């Protein structure tokens, strides 16, 4: 555990006094220290293109009075700097008359170990794996024209100091391994990307030459795309494969169920609590407690332990995801969903691992039931307009379905739909729920945080597919 | 106050000297400080204030053709020493890359042009609040507007870039940004839209009444959208979308993509990729330009480039590393384009929207549907159906798709260019794209 101010002129008593003095007339707030050690190593175009190590230390000081949030952050850790932040907060909340809520729940459950993945594996051995990846792919297939492979790893240590001197700490490891391959055949170029990651050591992912599986998967996706034809355009049935395609749930539904948008009534879901928002059989949870997953957290960035929050149960909207601020203003409790990218950002209610649970049908039944449609296996990125509820996804691997059979691969298909109505169009839920491989980063208000998703195969009755073939 | 040049220079030279002493053959350091103050408003009351004071240093060390880098926000000498030692040790075991090197000395910027990028004015938070009050009062006038959010941000920055070839330079810059997001509601729908202004100088930002009114008007117009059928149709791109085409174009001609062979514009130098009426210019020395720079992040001087002249591609955006790989000289574009724009077309906006009896006018795209390897383009979109020059009704939940190679060749521009951002384009029309709807 790093001690955040042992190299400064601050003592713990100074810090506690400044925090208590600043927050005395506030409803909430805290001082957040963060120490982030991170590395990234990139192989590209046959060479180690970059190796970077970064060490970032800083604090963010937050004071809340009613709905107003005052925030100040700096990476100069000293008495002067902390005091000037304190003055800045006090001047924003001049006339504040809040009552500080000291209650913060605690558990002893930890969902990952206090490790530093960067130091656990030597740089030499990481370079060796990246070079092996490059050689393996280029030898394996002569159409391989470009290989990019990367490691990124970090250890983030945090300490949250609340008024009254209460301190909460967490040490969070996170790694990611990624391979991208570009193929060229008859003048046509296509890429395939695959990656794995989570909150444990590199070796846990790379044992038994597991890196080869990652290569194979990237290569397979690129090969499929090389034989793809233009996507159809228009409204049709869509079968989504299990696992990563759940980012559609994340974008289309998840964001709309975050507390801030609902408190502000800017979400299309804000007046639908207790109502039917999805077909029967659709249950969606947001779970921060799954061991070593990318989206898991022992405590959130306000110190609240994470939990498994049921968002939609058998089609009925049950809960929103809350941080302390939005929970207080909506008369409910935090679900441990308060997150921030780092000390430079304010806390917002965010997703952790968002999952649609398994149903009873098989993927085979779904495909068989479709006369004309598409089967989407993997997505690149997606985006949602929270207010109108409209969302968009780009397929990176998809196939036509004709008369109940999977046909040719299609390229460049975009799926567009309406968040609040899409779940009502789900007509079959598969029995094959799967987690994604641990690669998701969710963006909101300019802040990226690691997240996970999971779902079984599902059949959606009607979606607009945006291809070029009419 | 942001840290002064002397302080930043002392940190930079400490790092350079230490790197050299450890045995690095070359080194380069960037050290910067930025302070920003932001006030957010929501429904006419204060929602959030945010003060940010950020220090950042990054060091690259070379041993011959080996290179690695570190970065940190902790500028204490003791911390820097540990990190630079680590960087040097990492460099030793990193494989050689023949193209690694500092920029050619004769390409380094010799003089710093006065581009007037720094405005020392400071707007107290109370004054920011006054601006936002006026803005939201105007934005919320119409009763269809049910929610307003706005933000005012002031940013001051200073930096020094130094390398072991003796380059040591930097300058201050500032920006003032105001934005407004409004939500409108009617019986059938709820829609969101926005407007923002960002300038180096406080006096140049849009006045609050205007900003609020534009955001509100744009949002109300979007209410009760319809979905249209799938068809081939001419698409008019509003300026805020047409400028995104320029950004994609700039991405596709970046030397890193060209060198890796992963751009659809590879090997297209001296070829006709746009109609002969099209010129694209990248101008780094625009006075008070929000994308202006005296040199790039390697210290290489940057001059105006006619990237596309009469439809023919003239230049890539080249940095040192990829330049060496492609046998080209860096043109000071390590960080991409600077102030990038299409020159005006010949047609007025009115003439442009009247070209076809029926077309689709796009004001917003969503999703990441741009593939620079193949040029494939497929995004979700909102906009309006235009018939005989008239906006008939709003359209949403559709996608538009095509390929940049074809889209570039069929592009016509209006003559309504203005310089609001770092990338600017007139209104644009492209014939015969595919729309997917119901």
By CB atoms closer than 10 A (0-12, 13-18, 19+), residue B266 is: middle
Helix axes A123-140, B77-93, angle to 10 degrees: 40
Q: What is the pLDDT of residue B43?
A: 94
Tell me if A100 sits within 8 A of A21, measured CB to CB: no
Q: Taking a contact as any Cβ pair under 8 Å apart, which residues of chain B between 218 and 247 contact chain A?
A: 227, 230-232
**Tokens matching residue A17:** 């006094």
Average pLDDT over residues B322-326: 96
DSSP string, B137-166: HHHT-STTEEEEEEEEEEEEEEEEEEETTS
- In tens, the pLDDT along B95-139 reads 999 999 999 999 999 988 999 999 999 999 899 999 999 999 999
Tell me the shortest Cα–Cα distance from A265 to chain B, in angstroms: 8
- Determine, for residues A391 and B366 on separate chains, whether the beta-carbon distance falls below 8 Å: yes
Residue ranges of E strands in B312-351: 312-313, 340-342
- Determine, for residues B147 and A266 on separate chains, whether the beta-carbon distance falls below 8 Å: yes
| ipTM of the complex in this document | 0.84
* CA dist., res. B403 & res. B421, Å (int): 26
What is the band of A469 on the pLDDT scale with cuts at 50, 70, 90?
confident
Segments in B230-306 forming alpha helices (H):
239-252, 255-260
Q: Which of B74, B259, B367 sits opposite A394 (nearest CB)?
A: B367
- In tens, the pLDDT along A239-248 reads 999 999 999 9
**Which H or E element spans position B39?**
strand B26-42
Residues 6+ apart with CB under 8 A from B98: B65
Q: Which residue do the tokens 């939005």 mark?
A: A326
Percent over 70 (pLDDT), chain B: 100
- In tens, the pLDDT along B151-163 reads 999 999 999 999 9
A vs B, Cβ pairs < 8 A, gives 236
Average pLDDT over residues A147-152: 97
Order of strands, sheet of B423-424, starting from the edge strand that comes earlier in the sequence: B312-313, B305-309, B280-282, B340-342, B423-424
A-interface mutation test, from B399, B430, B437, most A Cβ less than 10 A away: B399
* CA dist., res. B364 & res. B240, Å (int): 8
Q: What is the pLDDT of residue B1?
A: 82
In chain B, residues with a C-beta closer than 8 Å to the C-beta of A58 are 73
Tell me if A158 sits within 8 A of A186, measured CB to CB: no
- Determine, for residues A55 and B72 on separate chains, whether the beta-carbon distance falls below 8 Å: yes
Q: What is the pLDDT of residue A108?
A: 82
Residue B193: pLDDT above 80? yes
Q: Which of B95, B231, B366 sits opposite A385 (nearest CB)?
A: B366
Residues 6+ apart with CB under 8 A from A12: A5
B85 touches chain A (CB under 8 A): no
Half-sphere exposure in the Cβ direction for A465 (13 Å, CA)? 32
φ, ψ of residue B406 to 5 degrees: the values are -75, -40
* CA dist., res. B397 & res. B224, Å (int): 12
In chain B, residues with a C-beta closer than 8 Å to the C-beta of A57 are 72-74
Q: Taking a contact as any Cβ pair under 8 Å apart, which residues of chain B between 320 and 379 contact chain A?
A: 366-369, 371, 373-374, 376, 378-379
A95 touches chain B (CB under 8 A): no
- In tens, the pLDDT along B251-290 reads 999 999 999 999 999 999 999 999 999 999 999 999 999 9
φ, ψ of residue B68 to 5 degrees: the values are -150, 175
Residue B42: pLDDT above 80? yes
- Determine, for residues A68 and B48 on separate chains, whether the beta-carbon distance falls below 8 Å: yes
Query: Between β-strands A440-444 and A353-356, what pairing exists: parallel, antiparallel or unpaired?
Result: unpaired
Residue ranges of E strands in A66-166: 68-74, 144-161
- Determine, for residues B382 and A390 on separate chains, whether the beta-carbon distance falls below 8 Å: yes
* CATH T-level assignment (fold) for domain A117-156+171-227: PmbA/TldD fold (3.30.2290)
Residues 6+ apart with CB under 8 A from B82: none
Task: Report which listed range, A221-235, A261-275, B307-321, is most confident.
Answer: B307-321
Instruction: Using alpha carbons, select from B90, B216, B62 the residue that is nearest to residue B149.
Output: B216
Percent over 70 (pLDDT), chain A: 100
Q: What is the pLDDT of residue A1?
A: 45
Which SS3 state, helix, strand or coil, does residue A128 take? Answer: helix
Which of 3.90.400.10, 3.30.2290.10, 3.30.70.2340, 3.90.230.10 is the CATH number of B5-221? 3.30.2290.10
Q: Range(s) for CATH 3.30.2290.10 in chain A?
A: 117-156+171-227
In chain A, residues with a C-beta closer than 8 Å to the C-beta of B401 are 231, 233, 412, 414, 466-468
What is the b/e burial string over A280-315, where b = at least 16 CB atoms within 10 angstroms of the residue's CB? ebbbbbbbbbbeebbbbbbbbbbbbbbbebbbbeeb
- In tens, the pLDDT along A78-103 reads 999 999 999 999 988 887 788 888 78
Q: Which residue do the tokens 């909101």 mark?
A: A444
Tell me the shortest Cα–Cα distance from A461 to chain B, in angstroms: 13
Average pLDDT over residues B169-191: 95
Tell me if B137 sits within 8 A of B105, measured CB to CB: no
What is the band of A164 on the pLDDT scale with cuts at 50, 70, 90?
confident
By CB atoms closer than 10 A (0-12, 13-18, 19+), residue A42 is: middle
- Determine, for residues B380 and A74 on separate chains, whether the beta-carbon distance falls below 8 Å: no
- Determine, for residues B69 and A380 on separate chains, whether the beta-carbon distance falls below 8 Å: no
Tell me the shortest Cα–Cα distance from B245 to chain A, in angstroms: 18
Which SS3 state, helix, strand or coil, does residue A260 take? Answer: helix
**Tokens matching residue B191:** 């829609």
A234 touches chain B (CB under 8 A): yes
Q: Range(s) for CATH 3.30.2290.10 in chain B?
A: 5-221
- Residue in chain A closest to B193 (alpha carbons) equals A387
Tell me the shortest Cα–Cα distance from A343 to chain B, in angstroms: 10
Tell me if A354 sits within 8 A of A286, measured CB to CB: yes
Instruction: Using alpha carbons, select from A379, A461, A415 the residue that is nearest to residue A234.
Output: A415
Q: For residue B310, how many other CB atoms are within 10 A of its CB?
A: 13
φ, ψ of residue A390 to 5 degrees: the values are -75, 140
Predicted model pTM: 0.89
What is the band of A2 on the pLDDT scale with cuts at 50, 70, 90?
low
- Determine, for residues B192 and A266 on separate chains, whether the beta-carbon distance falls below 8 Å: yes
Tell me if A355 sits within 8 A of A246, measured CB to CB: yes
Residue B94 carries which DSSP code? S
- Residue in chain A closest to B227 (alpha carbons) equals A464
Half-sphere exposure in the Cβ direction for B356 (13 Å, CA)? 17
A-interface mutation test, from B380, B381, B394, B435, most A Cβ less than 10 A away: B380
Q: Which residue do the tokens 């997953």 mark?
A: A293
- In tens, the pLDDT along A419-449 reads 888 999 999 999 999 999 999 999 998 999 9
* CA dist., res. B374 & res. B247, Å (int): 16
Q: What is the pLDDT of residue B118?
A: 97
Tell me if B401 sits within 8 A of B393, measured CB to CB: no
Q: Taking a contact as any Cβ pair under 8 Å apart, which residues of chain A between 145 and 174 contact chain B?
A: 145-146
- Determine, for residues B380 and A383 on separate chains, whether the beta-carbon distance falls below 8 Å: yes
- Determine, for residues B230 and A51 on separate chains, whether the beta-carbon distance falls below 8 Å: no
Average pLDDT over residues A143-172: 95
């Amino acid at each position: 555990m790093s001690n955040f101010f042992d190299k400064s002129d601050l003592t713990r008593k100074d810090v506690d006094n400044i925090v208590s003095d600043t927050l005395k007339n506030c409803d909430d707030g805290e001082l957040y220290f963060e120490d982030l050690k991170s590395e990234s190593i990139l192989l590209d175009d046959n060479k180690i293109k970059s190796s970077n190590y970064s060490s970032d230390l800083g604090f963010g000081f937050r004071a809340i009075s009613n709905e107003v949030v005052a925030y100040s952050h700096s990476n100069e850790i000293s008495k002067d700097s902390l005091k000037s932040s304190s003055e800045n907060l006090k001047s924003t909340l001049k006339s504040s008359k809040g009552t500080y809520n000291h209650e913060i729940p605690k558990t002893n459950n930890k969902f990952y170990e206090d490790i530093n993945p960067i130091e656990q594996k030597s740089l030499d051995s990481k370079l060796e794996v990246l070079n092996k990846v490059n050689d393996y792919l280029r030898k394996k297939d002569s159409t391989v024209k470009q290989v990019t492979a990367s490691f990124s790893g970090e250890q983030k240590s945090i300490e949250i100091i609340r008024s009254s001197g209460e301190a909460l700490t967490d040490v969070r490891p996170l790694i990611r391994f990624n391979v991208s391959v570009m193929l060229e055949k008859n003048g046509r170029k296509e890429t395939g990307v695959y990656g794995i990651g989570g909150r444990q050591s590199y070796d846990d992912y790379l044992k038994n030459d597991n890196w080869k599986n990652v290569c194979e998967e990237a290569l397979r996706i690129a090969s499929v795309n090389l034989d793809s034809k233009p996507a159809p355009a228009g409204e049709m049935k869509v079968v989504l494969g299990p696992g990563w395609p759940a980012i559609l749930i994340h974008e289309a539904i998840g964001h709309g169920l975050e507390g801030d948008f609902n408190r502000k009534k800017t979400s299309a879901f804000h007046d639908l609590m207790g109502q039917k928002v999805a077909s029967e059989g659709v249950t969606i949870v947001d779970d921060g407690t799954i061991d070593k997953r990318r989206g898991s957290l022992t405590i959130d960035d306000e110190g609240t332990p994470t939990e498994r929050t049921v968002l939609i149960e058998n089609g009925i909207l049950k809960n929103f995801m809350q941080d302390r601020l939005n929970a207080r203003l909506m008369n409910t409790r935090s679900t441990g969903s308060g997150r921030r990218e780092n000390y430079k950002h304010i806390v917002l209610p965010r997703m952790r691992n968002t999952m649609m649970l398994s149903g009873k049908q098989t993927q085979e039944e779904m495909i068989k039931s479709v006369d004309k449609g598409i089967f989407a296996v993997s997505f690149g990125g997606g985006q949602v307009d929270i207010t109108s509820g409209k969302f968009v996804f780009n397929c990176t691997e998809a196939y036509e379905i004709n008369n109940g059979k999977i046909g040719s691969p299609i390229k460049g298909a975009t799926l567009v739909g309406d968040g609040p109505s899409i779940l009502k169009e789900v007509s079959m839920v598969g029995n094959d729920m799967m987690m994604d491989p641990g690669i998701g980063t969710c963006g909101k208000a300019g802040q990226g945080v690691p997240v996970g998703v999971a779902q079984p195969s599902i059949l959606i009755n009607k979606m607009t597919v945006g291809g070029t073939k009419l | 106050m942001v840290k002064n040049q002397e302080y930043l220079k002392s940190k930079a030279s400490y790092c350079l000297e230490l790197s050299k002493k450890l045995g690095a053959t070359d080194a380069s350091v960037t050290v910067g400080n930025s302070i920003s103050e932001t006030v957010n408003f929501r429904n006419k009351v204060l929602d959030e204030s945010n003060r940010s004071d950020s220090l950042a240093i990054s060091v690259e060390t070379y041993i011959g053709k080996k290179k690695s880098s570190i970065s940190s926000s902790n500028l204490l000498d003791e911390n820097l020493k540990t990190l630079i030692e680590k960087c040097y040790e990492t460099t030793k075991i990193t494989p050689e890359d023949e193209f690694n090197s500092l920029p050619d000395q004769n390409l380094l910027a010799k003089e710093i042009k006065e581009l007037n990028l720094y405005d020392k004015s400071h707007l107290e938070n109370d004054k920011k609040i006054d601006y936002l009050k006026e803005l939201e009062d105007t934005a919320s006038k119409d009763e269809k507007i049910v929610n307003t959010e706005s933000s005012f941000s002031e940013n001051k920055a200073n930096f020094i870039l130094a390398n072991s070839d003796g380059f040591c330079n930097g300058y201050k810059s500032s920006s003032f940004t105001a934005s407004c997001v409004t939500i409108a509601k009617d019986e059938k729908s709820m829609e969101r839209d926005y407007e923002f202004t960002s300038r180096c100088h406080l006096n140049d930002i849009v006045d609050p009444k205007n900003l609020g009114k534009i955001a509100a008007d744009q949002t109300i117009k979007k209410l009760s959208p319809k979905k249209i059928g799938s068809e081939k149709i001419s698409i008019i791109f509003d300026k805020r979308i047409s400028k995104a085409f320029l950004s994609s174009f700039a991405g596709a001609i970046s030397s890193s993509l060209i060198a890796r062979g992963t751009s659809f514009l590879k090997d297209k130098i001296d070829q006709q990729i746009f109609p002969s009426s099209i010129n694209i210019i990248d101008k780094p020395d625009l006075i008070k330009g929000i994308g202006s720079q005296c040199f790039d992040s390697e210290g290489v001087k940057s001059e105006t480039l006619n990237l596309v002249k009469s439809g023919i591609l003239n230049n890539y955006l080249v940095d040192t590393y990829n330049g060496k790989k492609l046998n080209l000289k860096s043109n000071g574009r390590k960080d991409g384009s600077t102030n990038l724009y299409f020159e005006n077309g010949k047609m007025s906006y009115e003439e442009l929207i009247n070209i076809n009896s029926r077309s689709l006018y796009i004001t917003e795209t969503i999703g990441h549907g741009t593939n620079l390897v193949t040029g494939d383009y497929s995004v979700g979109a909102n906009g309006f159906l235009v018939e005989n020059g008239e906006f008939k009704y709003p359209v949403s939940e559709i996608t538009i798709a095509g390929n940049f190679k074809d889209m570039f060749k069929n592009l016509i521009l209006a003559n309504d260019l203005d310089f609001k951002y770092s990338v600017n384009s007139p209104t644009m029309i492209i014939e015969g794209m595919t729309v997917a709807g119901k």
